[in-house]
Amino acid sequence: MHRIRKFGLILLFFWFALALLADLFGTKLFFPFSTEIGGQEEMFRLYSVRFAIGCLLLLIIFRYLCQLRPWPSLIVVYWYAIFFIISSCIHAVKMDIKLDELHYLIWVVIFSVLIRLEIRQKVKETRESIYKRDYF
């Protein structure tokens, strides 16, 4: 199972790297591997990302104001995925997006589960809460 989680994280890393390189050369790459999507779906994804990033920044600033320690990077990615799934569902209802256009959320859920399992494994290895450790 450990190798599956690592392989999933490696795939996610390479997808992000490919998406950034494609953007530098002027090509839009949408998850999982679409270069063309409709205007309404592009706006839907933009609103979902914007809402998820806003929620994540709100949570991170709240943690800072409460003087809690910063999170390890995988926890930040995990919470972004959670907020993205929630915001996608909210905006799908608001924008009347069909269920078959949300197929990419299955991959987001799979990667979220893999990341969560990796976080839990790290907690077991250290015998302490990963949320309280300062890895920065």
Tens of pLDDT, residues 8-23:
778 777 877 777 777 7
The secondary structure of 33-65, three-state, reads CECCCCHHHHHHHHHHHHHHHHHHHHHHHHHHH
| Residue 62 CB-half CA count within 13 A | 6
7 located within any domain: no
DSSP 3-state assignment of 30? strand
- Burial label, 31 (beta-carbon count in 10 A; 0-12, 13-18, 19+): middle
pLDDT of the residue at 98: 78
In a domain, 136, yes or no: no
Confirm whether 90 is domain-assigned: yes
User: Is 12 within a domain?
Assistant: no
Rounded to two decimals, what is the model's pTM?
0.70
| Domain interval for residue 78 | 38-126
Tokens 């991170």, residue?
60
Greater model confidence, 64 or 54: 54
Query: Residues 32-47: pLDDT tens digits?
Result: 656 666 667 767 777 8
Q: What is the count of structural domains for the chain?
A: 1
